[in-house]
Amino acid sequence: MGEVIHIGALMPDIKPVVVAEDKAKKVNFIFRGYEKFNLEQHLNQYKLEFEDVFHDLMACIKCTGACGTGCTQGGTSYYFGLHRRDMELVNDGKPKFRVFVCPGVNERKAQIKEQYLGNSKVEVSH
């Protein structure tokens, strides 16, 4: 059985989410706020990238200040994620990924919260 992440406990106002080995639950979670791009059609082609996005998203949700993504250099933390602006600019129907500088625990959690609550205007990554 997969790990249970109670997002509501980490960030009030977000309903608890159960994240299991269930592919559909992972997909629904990482694609939240990106529905208009129909990324599900690329799950098999970009499986490893989506797994990395999921891993880093979970690390950011659980973060208390020590980076859990495993991606740091010179004291700067990074995370891997989908990039909305690139998908809108190129508009070829394919997902676009980038490595982003972590803006800090509070800002990153606020970004995730806004994305999860469905504010599609939020650019989670800079």
Query: What pLDDT digit, counting tens, does each position of 32-88 carry?
Result: 888 889 898 998 899 999 999 989 998 998 898 899 999 999 999 999 999 999 999
12-26, 56-70, 83-97, 102-116: least confident range: 12-26
**Choice between 29 and 7, residue whose per-residue pLDDT is larger:** 29
Residue 20 clears pLDDT 70, i.e. is over it: no
Q: pTM to 2 decimals?
A: 0.79
Averaged pLDDT, 11-30: 64
> What pLDDT score does 6 carry?
58
Distance in angstroms (rounded) separating the CA atoms of residues 76 and 5: 26
Question: What angle is formed at CA 68 by the lines to CA 76 and CA 119, rounded to 5 degrees?
Answer: 85
